[in-house]
A and B are shown apart, each in its own frame.
Chain A
Amino acid sequence: MLFNSVTFLIFLLIVSTIQYSRLNWKSKKTSLLIGSYIFYAAWNPPFIILLFLSTLMDWIFAKKIYSSTKPKQRKKWLVFSLVFNLGLLSIFKYSGFILENFNALISVLGFQLKFSDPGIILPMGISFYTFQTLSYTIDVYSKKIKTADSFLDYALFVSFFPQLVAGPIVRAIDFLPQLKKTKTFSVDTFSLGISLFIIGLFLKTVLADAFFAPIVDKVFDANISPDMLSAWVGGWFFYGQIFCDFSGYSLCAIGTALSLGFYLPLNFKSPFAAIGFTDFWRRWHITLSSWLRDYLYIPLGGNKFGKFITLRNLFITMFLGGLWHGAAWTFIIWGVLHGFYLILERLLKKISVLKTLAQFKIMRPLLMLTTMLFVMLAFIVFRAENVNQALDIYTGLLNLGSTKEILVWNLWIQLTVTAFILLTLIQWFYKHDNLPNVINRMSIIPKSLILSFCLIMIITSSGNSDAFIYFQF
C-alpha cells in the first residue's frame, strides 16, 4: 500500500479511528497489528506468511537466548537467529545474483553448464524487517534489553505498518516501551504528525516524481553517453530525486506513526549540508548507518585496533552496506566507493595543513560542495542499470568520446535547478536542526502557508506516480 494513494488515506482514517476509540489498549494493539498485516498483504498476500515466520522465529530465538544462562547456549541461539535471518535475505534477495555471477564465472572458465534463475520474488521490505528482528535478538544477547512482554508487542514492533516496508529501521529499545501504555489523542502530536506526512508527500510526489524523475529518466534511459550538460544535470537531479523520494517516505512514515501517538527515529538530517563523508552518514539514512555501525562496524573492532583494522572495518561495513541495497554490482560499487571516501577522509584528516584549513569558516561551504559532488558521483552508479550505463554517464560528465544531446536547457529544467538549489540552501541553513522542531517553532501564518502550498501542489501535481525507490530494497 503506497502512502500516496486514496486507499491508504482511507486505511489511515480507519486505523486512527480505532486507535483513539474507547477500546482497551490490548485490543487497539491487536487491531494495529491486524492493520499492519493488511497493509503488507496489499502488496502480495502470501508473503504475510514469511513476515509472520520471520517474526515468530526471532521471538523464539530471543526467548531462548534470554532464558539460557550458559554463554555457549546463548551464542548458539544467536547464531541460529543470524543464520535464519541472513539466510532468508540471501535466498530471496541474492540467490538470482549469485547464480547469475556463478554462471558467468563457469562460462569464463570454459564450462557449458548453466543453472537457471529460480525467479524468486523479492518480498517487499525484507531488508528492513530482517535487520529489525536481528537487532532485537542481538540486543537481547548483549543484555541491552530484555525480551518483549508479549508476542503481540513484539509482532507489532516488527510489523508496525508506517515503517514496515522502507524504514526507518527501529530498535526494540526505542519502540517496545511505547507499547506499554495507551495513547491518548493530542491535537499537537496528531497535527505535527499530519504536517510531517504532508511535507513528506510533497517531497515525494512533487519534487521527486514531478520535477526530478522525468529529467533523470530521460538522461539515464537514453542508453547512450549523454552530452556534458545532460550528464551533470542528470547526476545532480538523481541526488535530488533519491533524497526527496526516500526522505519523503521516511517523513510520511514518521508522520503517520506520530499521528497514531508513536515516535519513530528521524532518518535524514540535511544530508546536502554534510561536511565530509562521516558527517554524510550521520545525516543520510541514519537508522541504517547507525545499525551498520552498532551491529557490524563496532563488533568488527571499530577503530580500536589500529589504523589498518579501522580502515578494513570501514571498508567491510560500506561494502556490505552497498550490498544491502541490492543484488547488483552497481550497488556494491556504490558501497565500495563510499568505503574509499571514508578511508580517504580519515587519511586526509591526518594531514595537519588540511586539518587547519578545514577549520576556517569560509572553507565550510566549499567542503560541503565537495562532499555533495562526490556523493552525487557515487549515486550515478547507484542509479545506473549496469556498470556500462554508469560509465556512459561518467564519460558524458567529462565530455569524452561521442555523446548525444539529450536535454534542452528550457524553463522547466531551470525551474528544477532552482528547486534543487533551494533544497540545498534550506538544508544548509537548518543543518543543525530537525524538521519537527522547525515546524513546532513556526508561527501560525508561515506554517499554514507552507502546508497549504504543499497540499495544493500534491493535489494538482500530475507527475507519474512512481513507486518509492527504496521499496526495491
Chain B
Amino acid sequence: MTHWLKVWALVLSICSVILISYGIFLDKKGFSATVETNKDLWSWYRSKIYQKKVIVLLGASRSLLGINIATIKTLFPNYEVVQLSLSGKYPIGTLLEIADDPNFHGNLIISIKAEALNEAFFTMQEDYYSYYENHSTFYKSLNAYLTAYLQSKFVILNTSLGLQNIVENISKKHAFIDPKFIIGNLDLSISADFSKINASKRADRYADLSKNYLVENGATPPGDWIKNFGPIQKAINKIKARNGRVIFVRLPTDDALWDIDEQYFSRRLYWDKFMSLLNTDSIHFKDVAGLDKFDLPDDSHLDQKDSVAFTTIFFQYIKDKKLLK
C-alpha cells in the first residue's frame, strides 16, 4: 500500500511543480486563460434563454467584443443575460430560429449592419442552431460548460498552446508562440487588447476585404433590399405575440469602414428605410450621445478597456427608453 501512496505523492509533486511552473512561464509571456467557443458550449447558453426576464444578445464580433455582460447585469440585476453572438457570422438565421421557438418570451438585442439583412446571409449561423436542435444533449453541453469553466481559470488549458502549434512555431520562428490579442470569456464574450498588435494594419485589411467584396458583388439596390424584410417581420411578430421584444442595434464602425458602409449601404437608404418598415425598436450608434466617441483601434471593434463604458452608455439608453420588457 505504501508503494502506491509514495507513487501518487511523487506524481502529485512532479505534476504540481511542472504545471505551476508552466503556468508562471505562460503568464510572463502574456498568455491568459481563455475559453474556446464551440457548438456544445453555444448550445449550453442557447438552452438558457427561456426565463421570463432574459436579455439575449445576437450578433457577430462587434457584439462579442463591445458588450460587457457583467455591466448589463449591474444595470439590469433581475435579468438573465445570454450572449449568443458568433464571430464572423451574421445572426438573422438565429433570430428566425428563436422566433420559431414557442418557449422564448424574452428580449432579443440583435447587432447587425444593413448588409446582414441580405437573405443570402441568413444561414451564416445555421451550423450552430442546427446543432442545438438536432445533436445537442444536456450531457454534451454540460461537459462543454465545465470544460470552459476550467479553461477560464487555468492558462495552461489555453487551446492555442497545442503541442503541434508550439513545435511548429519554434521550428519556424525559433521562438515560443505569441499570445493572441483576444481572450474568450466564460460568458462567450471576447476581450481584445489591441496594444498587442498592429491595429491600424488590421483596419486597413478589414477595409480592403470589405471593399473588394462589395466591388465584386455589389450592393443590392435599395428597392430589392426591402424584399428581405418579410421573413424578418414575421419573426418579430411571432416573438411580440408571445410578449417578447426585439431590438436591432447598429454598433459603431469608424473611419474607412464607415465610409465604405456609407458608400454602398447608406444609412438613409438602407438602415433607416428597413427599420422604418419593421415594426420594432432599433438603435443606431450615431443617435446615442457618446456611443460614437469611442476609439475603434481596427475601425470595427472596441478595445477591452472601453467595453464597460460603452456598455454602460448603451444599456443606460435602453433602460431610459424602457425598451425591454
Contact = CB atoms under 8 A, between A and B. Distances in A.
Interface of A: 1-2, 5-7, 10, 42-45, 187-188, 191, 206, 210, 214, 410-412, 415, 444-445, 447-449, 451-452, 455-457, 459-463
B169 to A, nearest CB: 10
Contacts of A6: 143, 146-147, 150
Interface in B126-163: 137, 139-140, 142-143, 146-147, 150, 156-163
A43 B137 contact: yes
B7 A191 contact: yes
B18, B150, B164, B167: which has the most chain A beta carbons within 10 Å?
B164
B173 to A, nearest CB: 12
B7 A451 contact: yes
Interface in B1-46: 1, 3-8, 10-11, 14-15, 18-19, 22
B290 to A, nearest CB: 40
Contacts of B139: 1, 7, 42-43
Contact of A452 (B11, B142, B147, B168): B11
A448 B5 contact: no
Given A5-B143, A43-B137, A455-B15, A448 B7 contact: yes
B155 to A, nearest CB: 11
A460 B18 CA distance: 11
A287 B249 CA distance: 61
A465 B5 CA distance: 31
Contacts of A187: 1, 4-5
B195 interface: no
Nearest to B165: A462
A416 B1 CA distance: 37
B78 interface: no
Interface residues of B, number: 36
Contacts of A449: 14
24 contacts: A42-B139, A43-B139, A187-B1, A187-B4, A188-B1, A206-B163, A410-B171, A411-B171, A444-B6, A445-B10, A448-B6, A448-B10, A448-B14, A452-B11, A452-B14, A452-B18, A455-B11, A455-B15, A459-B15, A459-B19, A459-B156, A460-B156, A462-B162, A462-B165
Interface string B270-305: 000000000000000000000000000000000000
Binding site secondary structure of chain B? helix
A412 B11 contact: no
Contact of A412 (B3, B150, B160, B168): B168
A55 B157 CA distance: 41
Nearest to A465: B147
Contact of B171 (A5, A45, A412): A412
B139, B147, B167, B170: which has the most chain A beta carbons within 10 Å?
B139
A449 B7 CA distance: 9
Nearest to B18: A456
Contacts of A1: 139
Nearest to A210: B163
A155 B6 CA distance: 38
B143 A210 contact: no
B4 A462 contact: no
Contact of A444 (B10, B161, B164, B165): B10
Nearest to B162: A462
B302 to A, nearest CB: 28
Contacts of B15: 452, 455-456, 459
Contacts of B3: 188, 444
Interface in B193-234: none
Contact of A462 (B22, B158, B170): B158
A410 B4 contact: no
Nearest to A39: B139
Contacts of B7: 191, 444, 447-448, 451
A462 B161 contact: yes
A188 B4 contact: yes
A456 B168 contact: no
Contacts of B137: 42-45
Q: Name the 7 nearest CB pairs between A and B, nearest first.
A: A42-B139, A448-B10, A462-B162, A191-B4, A452-B14, A411-B171, A6-B146
A18 to B, nearest CB: 19
